[in-house]
Amino acid sequence: MPAVQETIDQVRSIDVDKYKYGFFTDIESEKAPKGLNEDIVRFISAKKSEPEWMTEWRLEAYRHWLTKLEPTWARVSYPKIDFDDLYYYAAPKTADKPKSLDEVDPELLRTYEKLGIPLREQEVLAGVENARVAVDAVFDSVSVVTTFKDELAKHGIIFCSISEALQEHPELVRKYLGSVVPITDNFYASLNSAVFSDGSFVYVPPGVRCPMELSTYFRINEKQTGQFERTLIIADKGSYVSYLEGCTAPMRDENQLHAAVVELIALDDAEIKYSTVQNWYPGDSEGTGGVYNFVTKRGDCRGRNSKISWTQVETGSAITWKYPSCILRGENSRGEFYSIAISNGHQQIDSGTKMVHLGRNSTSRIISKGIAAGFSNNTYRGLVSAHAKATNVRNFTQCDSLLVGNNCGAHTVPYIEAKNSSAQFEHEATTSKVSDEQMFYCRSRGLGEEEALALIVNGFAREVIQQLPMEFMAETQKLIGISLEGSVG
């Protein structure tokens, strides 16, 4: 298995204290002053030349945020965040927006190069014909460059930054923004609604099958900058779109806050596939530093026969608090959630999903694989519920946990609520360790301990890895190897 060999090489080449993506790019940036108040919210809105209603919307969100308390129910612990000690806006300094890649600051391009982002078409996947990945790269909150837009436009697909969408398609944004995750939803969603800097906007018109995988790379670069991404994806009737999101962050000592909101809307017969690979800086081997990832992701299967599928690979961040969910409103709608969550070192993950069945005959499937190593804690928290009028709904849930070492914890907290008799819910969870027999077998074939572990864990998570788009699959297998580095021996 060549992919596994690659994993092993990666594991060897990377020292746990030298995070692969830990480097800074020195670019001047424009910042709003520290702290948060109505003026800052207005400043952000003005900076982005937003319409009046948008400014009001943000302010309303901000006022809601003030009335909310930080959630404490997740099984994570961290020092109190001083929300007044953060910058809420930072933009790379460019006088005019670049017209093509050649005009982009070479510093930036070099950063992407180091990260291995396939910005140029020829770099996407050598040797694969017609493989195209459109990248809307977000560098410190502002979309700097968007490629492939023209080709997408031919199909009528809108793929742009959300600030651009606010200028050019305000009616679409106004109709859908906040319709899945309202500004009152939770502490971090309200915060995000008030101060979000940028993010991606996708609209796929009726009957269109998006010809390529859409992808965004988020990155946190500016010191002490909380990053508040906002993503809105709308798949109109009968359309299909697959969206990829991958994240890396430079190394730093101060904790970073990341509170994104992702909203997906699938109308009749539409399908959205959303894949994430998240490998932000998890903190050093002592557990200091690292990103706080408090994300609200929710999809709304609004139409009949609509489908939303979440696939996530969570390997980074010091703290992850993330529950990509599906509101299954449409008749015969379907929600899927595939997750691999790997925690090592002192990472804390509290992640899972919600499948809220409101429509008749809606179905959902949850496959969650948690791997805990080192001193980490890894929690699956999920809700499956059937409304009284949602007849004949079905859910299948499987959450498996694997423990590597004796200082970590694996937890499962499912909530299963059936409000009618025709709902058929099945839930299974297991926790076990890597068996000595499996290790022995691999070792006897000449594999080292870490290589063997990477192989076994890749096998354990296979069902989820297979759901990933091809270009993410290889990356994920490498990531699993890297993430488990230092956990055995």
Q: Which residues bind another protein (CB under 8 A)?
A: 67-71, 73, 185-187, 388, 391, 401, 403-433
Please report how close the Cβ of residue 428 comes to another protein at its closest, in angstroms. Answer: 5
Cβ distance to another protein smaller for residue 53 or 440: 440
In whole angstroms, what is the distance from residue 171 CA to residue 200 CA?
16
- Contact present, 233 and 261 (Cβ < 8 Å): no
Closer residue to another protein in complex, CB, 100/406? 406
CB contact at 8 A, 396 and 361:
no
How far apart are CB 197 and another protein at their closest, in Å?
Answer: 22
- Identify the sign of the CA torsion 241, 157, 188, 190: negative
Record the tokens describing residue 403, joined without a space.
């423990």
| DSSP β-ladder status, 29-31 and 90-92 | antiparallel
Of the pair 340, 399, the CB lying nearest another protein is at 399
Q: Note whether 298 and 327 are within 8 A (CB).
A: yes
What the block records as the tokens of 373 is 């190593």
Q: Which is nearer to another protein, 72 or 122 (CB)?
A: 72
* CB atoms closer than 10 angstroms to residue 320: 29
In the complex with another protein, the residue whose CB is nearer, 229 or 400, is 400
Rg (CA), the chain: 22
Least distance (Å) between residue 18 CB and another protein:
27
For the bound state, the minimum distance from the C-beta of residue 420 to another protein, rounded and expressed in Å, comes to 5
Write down the least CB distance from residue 77 to another protein, Å: 15
User: Residue 475 corresponds to which amino acid?
Assistant: E
Min. distance of Cβ 452 from another protein in angstroms?
Answer: 16
Instruction: In whole angstroms, give the CA distance from residue 421 to residue 138.
Output: 47
Give the angle 383-386-389 at the CA atoms, nearest 5°: 160
Specify the residue, 167 or 420, whose C-beta has the smaller distance to another protein: 420
CB closer to another protein, 151 vs 331: 331
Question: Which of 41, 365, 382, 372 is closest to 192 using CA atoms?
Answer: 41
Tokens of 193: 């609604």
Nearby residues of 127 by Cβ (< 8 Å), 6 or more positions away? none
How far, in Å, CA of 237 to CA of 206, rounded? Answer: 5
Q: In terms of CB distance, is 202 or 358 closer to another protein?
A: 358
Work out how close the CB of 369 gets to another protein at its nearest, in angstroms, rounded to a whole number: 14
